Structure formats: C-alpha cells, structure tokens
Amino acid sequence: MGKKEIRFVDAGVSGGVWGLKNGYCLMAGGDAATCRFLEPIFKSLAPENGYLHCGDTGSGHFVKMVHNGIEYGMMQAYGEGFDILKASPYADSLNFEGVAHLWNQGSVIRSWLLELLESAFAKDPHLTEIKGVVADSGEGRWTLQQAV
C-alpha cells in the first residue's frame, strides 16, 4: 500500500455523546508524518490537550482498549463502594447523591464517572431502574488478556 501512497491511521475515541459538546479524547496511531498531516482534523475534534499521536498504526486503538479496561474497573469500584454503603447500618440515612457529590470535591476518587453517577442518583435515588448488567463489548476481556 505504501507504493500507492495509502496510509493507515487508527484513532480510539473517548467522550461518548458528550464529546460533541466537550470535545473528544483522541488516541491516534499511525506513522508520524501522516498523523502530523491529520493533526489539524484531530485537534478540531478534541479539547485542548485532548489528542495524542500514540505511536505506530494500531497503538491508538490499543491505548483506547486499555482506557476502557481502566474505565470498567473504576465503574466496578464505584458500584461496589456504593453497595457497601447500601448494605451498611447507615443506609437509611445516607444521601447517595450527596455522597457522590462530596467525593467529587477534592477527593482522590473524584472523576467524570462519579459526576455521571451523581446525576443518576439525582434522577433515581436508589437506582431502581438500573439493571446491574453491562453488555460485553470484549474490550475489558481483551485488556485482561493483554495484562496476563
């Protein structure tokens, strides 16, 4: 393909539906010259410092896969933490939305995922509409396989 001047670039993208408003986190892989050529496009879609040329072709999606593995681990940790609170002798007096909000105020565990959880508690204080099951896209499993 190189003789025909065809280049391959991959770009892992994070930001979901909110990316349209906030910009997308872009993790690009490909040869340096091609990524430099495409950089204005990437930067137009990303917030400031929200784009990185990660390395060779494939590295962008690899970095995104690991990103998703971390995300799934964080969501599991939050879920287990709130489950401990729910099972505690203090459950009846705890305001889970308030706890999620508090933890985002300078705490070491603050994050956008916790902001989303706070919003979920605001709509449904006991998350009764949540099924507790997440579809398996394979990325969490792939990250674990890579780790071992």
Q: What is the CATH number of the domain that holds 10?
A: 3.40.50.720
- CATH for 104: 1.10.1040.10
79 lies in the same domain as 133: yes
**From edge to edge, which strands make up the β-sheet containing 51-55?**
10-14, 25-29, 51-55
End-to-end CA distance of the chain: 34
80 lies in the same domain as 41: no
Which residues in the chain come in under a pLDDT of 50? none
pLDDT at 1: 62
- What pTM value is reported for the model? 0.87
The domain total for the chain is 2
Domain boundary among 17, 40, 57: 57
pLDDT at 2: 65
Q: Which domain holds residue 33?
A: 2-57
Residues known to be catalytic: 64, 71
